[in-house]
């Protein structure tokens, strides 16, 4: 009888830490994704790929994601349904960051011209930085 009682107490104490570690690693993965997305936004601002309005939209979206994660984690356990919802929202936010970083049409013209000027092009005799230095057809 004593062995049976010890076994029933021992099994849950061995299994419970595995569930806690699993839930903790899920939180860590979600936090890591949020951090990487924030770094992508900051990189987009630094490179001029994101306008102020786009940056504001993305930062608001990131705040909403943080609030949702805090709401889900209040009970200390992230259920499978909550995890799926959070991952889907993170996927959507990642796609949103990508689309705003790659939409040339909404950027101010000055920024896109500066980006274009940064690319060096090969002339016959030298490297030039602007299109006005490009050789014309039939000229050398």
Q: What is the pLDDT of residues 16-38, one digit of tens each?
A: 555 555 556 888 999 999 999 99
Q: How far apart are the first and last CA of the chain?
A: 100
**Tokens coding 4:** 């049976």
Structure-token pair, residue 99 = 């689309």
The burial class, CB within 10 Å (0-12 / 13-18 / 19+), for 125 is exposed
Tokens read off for 77 = 């356990």
> Counting Cβ atoms within 10 Å, is residue 131 exposed (0-12), middle (13-18) or buried (19+)?
exposed
Q: What is the pTM of this model?
A: 0.60
Q: How many CB atoms lie within 10 A of CB 5?
A: 9
Average pLDDT, integer, range 51-67: 95
pLDDT (mean) for 87-92: 96
> Strand, coil or helix: what is 121?
strand
Q: DSSP string covering 96-110, please? A: HHHHHHT-GGGS-HH
pLDDT tier, 123 (very low <50, low <70, confident <90, very high otherwise): very low
**Tens digits of per-residue pLDDT, 98-116?**
999 998 766 665 555 555 5
Residue with tokens 């806690």: 20
Listed residue (16, 22, 26) closest to 69, CA to CA? 26
Residue 10 has pLDDT above 70, yes or no: no
Longest dimension (CA), the chain: 101
Q: How confident is the model at residue 7 (pLDDT cuts 50, 70, 90)?
A: low
């Amino acid at each position: 009888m004593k062995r049976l009682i010890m076994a029933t107490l021992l099994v849950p104490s061995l299994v419970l830490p595995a569930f806690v570690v699993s839930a903790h690693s899920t939180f860590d993965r979600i936090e890591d994704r949020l951090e990487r997305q924030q770094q992508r936004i900051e990189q987009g601002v630094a490179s001029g790929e994101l306008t102020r309005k786009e940056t504001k939209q993305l930062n608001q979206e990131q705040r909403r994601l943080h609030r949702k994660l805090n709401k889900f984690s209040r009970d200390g356990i992230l259920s499978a349904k909550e995890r799926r919802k959070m991952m889907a929202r993170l996927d959507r936010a990642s796609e949103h960051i990508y689309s705003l970083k790659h939409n040339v049409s909404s950027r101010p013209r000055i920024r896109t011209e500066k980006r274009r000027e940064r690319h060096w092009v090969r002339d016959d005799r030298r490297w030039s930085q602007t299109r006005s230095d490009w050789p014309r057809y039939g000229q050398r």
